[in-house]
Structures are given as structure tokens and as C-alpha cells.
């Protein structure tokens, strides 16, 4: 049963000072007597130090670590108001003290280059924003091992040029955009390098059929339609892949603008993960 308790932000700060040994302060403008209701079942007396910090930052979402190492307490509502007027450099740290994110705000909007890091210091993400807070330039992401995950290009918030995604050992997907719409050849590959999907677009309009292939390079639809070595397992796999590909097609056809492009990238990741499972 949850251990619910109501306390003021000032009392909560005192509790955290006791459990962490850190300097704990309230964000400027926060009412120290404002009451918050918390489920403290995860903050029992046996939980101390970095575990407390992780719970406060990740589970309760009630603050952040400042550059000087202090734990700053805030409420979600107040934080939204505070960020809306924020200008200047912004930084947040992981519980172990490692820099987690660094960038600049201007009147509440992200501007210039922003970077994120994993807890061990490996870079996770790098984005650039224009003066209106829109993505602008090349955005790059890495996994925890330092392998390149994806690269995307924007012009004032609009997807453009070549978008690429990567397996640890090769290319996962390559898409092209013109004025925010898919344009030209779009391809995805199996992790081993065999072509998975190939589509062609003309300014957002899908041209021709979607072709997809197994890890041996065979066109599965052609093979099954012709009755070539189509055992029950292969038919089941093809049926599942057709459903997943229908989702990709619907994404393209329903919203081939910048929003659709973002949604597509997520759907393709899910698709490739599902196909990898189907190979087993």
C-alpha cells in the first residue's frame, strides 16, 4: 500500500538534506510553504545518498542538480513558468556529478547548440536550435557504447536532406526529405546488411509498391505468391511484416509533413526491432 504523506516544500528540502548530505535549496520564486503530496514508499529511512537523488529527479520529477552540486527543489507547475522566462546557460547533472545536459535559453526557448551525456560521460545527443527554438542544422545521437545511432538534418524546424540511422556495425535506414516531405529513395536494412525495405517518393507521394526482403535478400511477397519454398513459418513471418509495413505506409500517407517524418522514424525503429525478433 502506498505510503502517502503531505508536507511543505521546506519540509521536503529538510528531509533531503538529512538523507543526502547535500546542499538543498528551493528554486527562486517557489513558495516554501506550498504543500505537496508524495508517495514516500520509495523513500524509506534505509534509502540514502545517490539513491534519494535518483528518486527525486527521475521518479518524482521535483528538481535538478545545479552546476555547484546543490539539489534544487521545484514543482512541475512552477518549473514550467520559470523555464518560460529563462535566459542564459543551462546545465543539469547526473546524480554522480557527471554533466547530463548543457545548452542555452533565450526567453524560455532553446537556442544554439545543446548536448546531452550518459552518466559515464559518453555523449548521447547533440542538437542545434535557431533563434525561435526550432531544430536547425544536423542533429546526432549515440548509444551508450558510443556507436552512432542516427543523424538528421533540419532547416528551421523542417526535416530536410538525408536522415540516416545505424546499426552498431552498419546502416539501418536512409531517408531523404525535401521541404519536410519524404522525397526520393527510402531504404532500410537488416542488421547483417541485407536490404529490408525499399520505397520511392515524389514530394511526399508514395510511388509504386513497397518492396521488402528477408535476410537472404529474397522478395518475400514474390516468393509466397509464386509458392516458392513458402513454409508455414515463413508465411507467418510475412503476414506479420505486412501488418508492420502497413503501419509505415499509413504514417507516410496520412501525414507526410515534418510531424509525419518524426512519427515515421519511431515506427521504423519499432518495425526493425520486430523484424529482428521474427528472424529467430
Same-domain check for residues 172 and 252: yes
- Work out the mean pLDDT of the chain and round it to a whole number: 72
Q: Strand, coil or helix: what is 144?
A: coil
Same-domain check for residues 145 and 262: yes
Listed in sequence order, the residues at least 6 apart from 12 whose beta carbon sits closer than 8 Å to its beta carbon are 36, 38, 62, 73
Residue 56 pLDDT > 80, yes or no? no
Please report whether residue 215 resides in a domain.
yes
What pLDDT shows up at residue 144? Answer: 92
Please report whether residue 142 resides in a domain.
yes
What pLDDT shows up at residue 279? Answer: 46
* Mean pLDDT value across residues 63-70: 64
Same-domain check for residues 148 and 246: yes
Residue 269 pLDDT > 50, yes or no? yes
Same-domain check for residues 238 and 154: yes
Residue 157 pLDDT > 50, yes or no? yes
- Per the listing, cell 512552477 goes with 78
Please report whether residue 227 resides in a domain.
yes
Residue 203 pLDDT > 50, yes or no? yes
Using DSSP, how many helices (H) and how many strands (E) does the chain show?
Answer: 6, 18
What pLDDT shows up at residue 180? Answer: 86
Single out the residue in 77, 99, 123 at which a domain terminates.
77
What pLDDT shows up at residue 199? Answer: 81
Please report whether residue 99 resides in a domain.
no
Residue 205, domain extent: 134-278
Percent of the chain past pLDDT 90, that is, above it, reads: 21
Please report whether residue 129 resides in a domain.
no
Asked if 125 and 115 touch (Cβ cutoff 8 Å), the reply is yes
What pLDDT shows up at residue 258? Answer: 45
Q: Give the pLDDT band (50/70/90) at residue 270.
A: low
Please report whether residue 22 resides in a domain.
yes
Same-domain check for residues 73 and 153: no
How many domains are contained in the chain?
2
Please report whether residue 114 resides in a domain.
no
What CATH number is given to the structural domain containing 52? 3.55.50
Same-domain check for residues 267 and 187: yes
Single out the residue in 62, 77, 92 at which a domain terminates.
77
Please report whether residue 125 resides in a domain.
no
Tell which wins on pLDDT, 139 or 279. 139
What CATH number is given to the structural domain containing 159? 3.90.930
Same-domain check for residues 72 and 168: no
| Model confidence pLDDT, tens digit, residues 113-125 | 999 999 899 999 9
Same-domain check for residues 143 and 49: no
Single out the residue in 28, 48, 77 at which a domain terminates.
77
* Mean pLDDT value across residues 214-236: 62
Same-domain check for residues 72 and 138: no
Same-domain check for residues 138 and 268: yes
pTM reported for the whole predicted model: 0.61
Of 217, 223, 198, 194, the C-alpha closest to 209 is 198
- Per the listing, cell 537523488 goes with 53
Q: Burial code of 242-278, b = ≥16 C-beta within 10 A, e = fewer?
A: eebbeebeebbeeebebebbeebbebbbebbeebeee
Asked if 172 and 160 touch (Cβ cutoff 8 Å), the reply is no
Lowest mean pLDDT among 28-32, 81-85, 96-100: 81-85
Amino acid at each position: 500500500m502506498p505510503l502517502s504523506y503531505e508536507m511543505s516544500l521546506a519540509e521536503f528540502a529538510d528531509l533531503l538534506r538529512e538523507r543526502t548530505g547535500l546542499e538543498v535549496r528551493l528554486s527562486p520564486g517557489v513558495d516554501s510553504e506550498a504543500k505537496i503530496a508524495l508517495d514516500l514508499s520509495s523513500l524509506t529511512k534505509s534509502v540514502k545518498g545517490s539513491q534519494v537523488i535518483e528518486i527525486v529527479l527521475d521518479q518524482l520529477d521535483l528538481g535538478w542538480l545545479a552546476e555547484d552540486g546543490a539539489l534544487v527543489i521545484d514543482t512541475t507547475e512552477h518549473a514550467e513558468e520559470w523555464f518560460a522566462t529563462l535566459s542564459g546557460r543551462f546545465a543539469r547533472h547526473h546524480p554522480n556529478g557527471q554533466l547530463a545536459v548543457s545548452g542555452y535559453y533565450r526567453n524560455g526557448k532553446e537556442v544554439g547548440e545543446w548536448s546531452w551525456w550518459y552518466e559515464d560521460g559518453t555523449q548521447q545527443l547533440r542538437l542545434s536550435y535557431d533563434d525561435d527554438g526550432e531544430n536547425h542544422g544536423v542533429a546526432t545521437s549515440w548509444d551508450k557504447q558510443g556507436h552512432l545511432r542516427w543523424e538528421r538534418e533540419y532547416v528551421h524546424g523542417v526535416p530536410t536532406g538525408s536522415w540516416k540511422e545505424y546499426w552498431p556495425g552498419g546502416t539501418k535506414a536512409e531517408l531523404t526529405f525535401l521541404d519536410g516531405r519524404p522525397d526520393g529513395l527510402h531504404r532500410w536494412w537488416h542488421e547483417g546488411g541485407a536490404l529490408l525495405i525499399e520505397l520511392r517518393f515524389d514530394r511526399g507521394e508514395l510511388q509504386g509498391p513497397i518492396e521488402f526482403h528477408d535476410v537472404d535478400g529474397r522478395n518475400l511477397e514474390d516468393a509466397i505468391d509464386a509458392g516458392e519454398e513458402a513454409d508455414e513459418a515463413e508465411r507467418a513471418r510475412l503476414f506479420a511484416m505486412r501488418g508492420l509495413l502497413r503501419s509505415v505506409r499509413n504514417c507516410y500517407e496520412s501525414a507526410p509533413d515534418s510531424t509525419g517524418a518524426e512519427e515515421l522514424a519511431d515506427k521504423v525503429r519499432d518495425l526493425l526491432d520486430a523484424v529482428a525478433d521474427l528472424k529467430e
